[in-house]
Amino acid sequence: MSLTGPIFLNGIIVLTVAAFVAVVVLWPRLTARTPLHIAGRVGSLVAVNLLVLLTAATQLNAAYLFFAGWADLRGALTGNIAQTSLHRGGQEAKALNTPVVGGGAAAVSAHPVPLGRPIGPGGLTEYAVTGAESGLTGQVLVQLPAGYSSSPPTQRYPVLEAFHGYPSEPQNWIDIFHFPSLVDHEVSAHKMTAPILVMPAVEIPRGVDTEGVNGTPGDPQVETWLTHDVPTWLGQHFRVIANRKAWATIGYSAGGFDAAMATILHPAQYGAAIILGGYFRPEFGPFYDPFTTTSALGRRYDLIKTVAAQPPPVALWLETSHADHFSYRSSAEFLRATRAPTAVHAVILQNAGHRDSVWIALIPQALTWLGQNVKGFHT
C-alpha cells in the first residue's frame, strides 16, 4: 500500500468520517459525570481530532511529496537514506577553464557599502535593490565573510548566490536552512574559502510563482534582475572577484531550477551551480503562466534542450531522488542530455521526498564539492 496512493489516502478519509459518525451516535451514552464517562468523551474527541489532522497531513504529503513513500518516511526517522553518485559530461576543471564569450558583472575599485537593515547576528543585512535593467525592486539578504571589514582593501571574495523555493522567501535560508552556519563550518574545516552569501527574492511580485524567469513584455523580468541587476549591484558595492570561477549559484526546489537556469544561460557570470531537488523546465503555479512551452521563451528555458544543443562550459552538482516526482524525471532527462563541456556531478537518492531536511543534510557535501572543483572557492 503506497503512502501517497488512493487506497491509503481514501482509507484514512473513510476512517475519519466513520470515527466522527461513531462519536455523534455514541455521545449520549457518554454524558454521565463519572470519571469513566469523562475519559470516554475526552478520548473520543482527541481521536477524532487526531484523525482529522492525519487526513490533512496525508493529503498535503500526497500533493507536495514531503515523504514519497514508506521507505522515505522510515529513512527520515532513522537518518538512513541510500544514495549513489554519477558523473556526466566533461570534467569540472576543463569546463571552468574554457573561454566564454561575454563578461560578468564588473568589480569597481571603490566600494561604498550601501546602507542596509541589520536583521541578524554575524552581519546579516537586508537591502532593497532596484535593478536598472529589469526595473524591479526586490529584497536581497547579504552575509559578508568574517573579517570582511578588517581585511585589506585589495582582498576580494567569491560570491555564492542562493535562490529559495516557492512559496518561500530569502529568510528561509537563515531560519530553516541555517545556511551561513553551514558555510562557516565548511570554511572552518578548510574545505572552501569564505564567500559573500547573497540571497535575493525570487517572488517578484510577492506570492507569484515566477520561476525566476523573464515573462513577455509587461510581465516581471525576474531572470534579468537575478542574473544581471543583483550581480551588478554587488560589484558596485562589495569586494567581489570579477571572474566566473568565483561565482556560483545554489537553490532548492524551484530555486534549484533558478540556480540551473542562471548558470546554464549565463556562463560568463556563473561558473558553477548546486541544484537541490530542482528541475530543468519551469513549473509555473496555477495563477501565473507567462508563456507557452513552444514559444521563444518556452524554448529558452528548456534547459534540457539547451545542454543537448549548446552545452555551456559550467560545472553542476545536483541532487534528485527516484521518489521525488517533482525532480527526478526532469533530472534524469537532463543527465541523459548532458555532454561536454558541461560537467555534472549527480547525487541520486533511493527514497527521499521533496523536503528541506533532505537538502539541508546534503549541503555540506555540495559545498565540499564546490571548494574542491571551482577555483574561486578553493581554500
Residue 72 forms part of a structural domain: no
Using the predicted structure, report yes or no on whether residue 81 has a pLDDT greater than 90. no
Residue 17, in any domain of the structure: yes
Q: Answer yes or no: do 59 and 101 share one domain.
A: no
Cβ–Cβ under 8 Å, residues 213 and 222: yes
The predicted structure's pLDDT at residue 75: 59
**177 occurs within a structural domain:** yes
3-class SS shares of the chain: helix, strand, coil, % to 5: 40, 15, 40
Cα(333)–Cα(22) distance, rounded to whole angstroms? Answer: 50
Please give the grid coordinates belonging to residue 155: 582582498
Reported as a pLDDT band with limits 50, 70 and 90, residue 79 is: low
> Are residues 249 and 129 part of one domain?
yes
Asked if residue 44 and residue 91 are part of one domain, the reply reads: no
Q: Domain check: are 152 and 16 in the same one?
A: no
Pairing between β-strand 343-349 and β-strand 83-89 as defined by DSSP bridges: antiparallel
Q: Are residues 225 and 134 in the same domain?
A: yes
Are residues 103 and 58 located together in one domain of the fold? Answer: no
CB 321 within 8 A of CB 278: no
Q: Is residue 201 part of a domain?
A: yes
> Which has more confidence, 112 or 167?
167
CB atoms within 10 A of CB 297: 18
Residues 6+ apart with CB under 8 A from 206: none
Q: Is residue 74 part of a domain?
A: no
User: What is the rounded radius of gyration, in angstroms, for the C-alpha atoms of the chain?
Assistant: 24
- For strands 83-89 and 196-200, give the pairing: unpaired
Strand partners, 251: 163, 275
Check which CATH number belongs to the domain holding 360 and give it: 3.40.50.1820
- In this structure, is residue 363 part of a structural domain? yes
How confident is the prediction for the chain on average, in pLDDT?
90
Q: Among residues 15, 36, 64, which one ends one of the domains?
A: 64
Based on the fold, state whether residues 228 and 300 are members of the same structural domain.
yes
In a domain, 76, yes or no: no
Q: Do residues 43 and 119 share a domain?
A: no
The pTM score is: 0.82
Beta-carbon contacts of 60 under 8 Å, excluding residues fewer than 6 positions away, are 66
Give percent above pLDDT 70 in the chain: 92
User: Could you give the CA distance from residue 242 to residue 23 in angstroms, rounded to a whole number?
Assistant: 68
Do 41 and 91 belong together in one domain? no
Pairing of strands 315-321, 343-349: parallel
Kindly report, residue by residue over 33-52, the tens digit of the pLDDT.
Answer: 888 888 878 888 888 888 89
Dihedral (CA of 12, 16, 21, 22) sign: positive
Instruction: Please report the pLDDT score of residue 148 as a whole number.
Output: 93
217-228 pLDDT, tens per residue?
Answer: 999 999 999 999
pLDDT(71) > 90: no
Q: Greatest CA span in the chain, whole angstroms?
A: 83
Lowest model confidence (mean pLDDT) among 71-85, 242-256, 266-280, 364-378: 71-85
CA within 13 Å, CB half, 235: 19
51 shares its domain with 181: no
Q: Using CA atoms, how far apart are residues 68 and 76, in angstroms rounded to an integer? A: 11
- Which residues, including other chains, have CB under 8 Å from residue 257's CB and lie 6 or more apart? 211, 212, 251, 275, 278, 279, 280, 281, 282, 283, 303
Instruction: State the amino acid at position 127 in one-letter form.
Output: Y
Q: Please give the residue range of the domain that contains residue 293.
A: 83-377
Task: Please tell me the total count of domains within the chain.
Answer: 2
Distance CA 119, CA 89 (A): 41
**Average pLDDT of span 233-243:** 95
191/325 Cα distance (integer angstroms): 32
Same domain, 23 and 109: no
What would the mean pLDDT of 57-83 be, rounded to a whole number?
62
Domain shared by 29 and 122, yes or no: no
Share of the chain above pLDDT 90, in %: 68
CB 304 within 8 A of CB 280: yes
Structure confidence at residue 121 as a pLDDT band (50, 70, 90): confident
Structural domain includes residue 312: yes
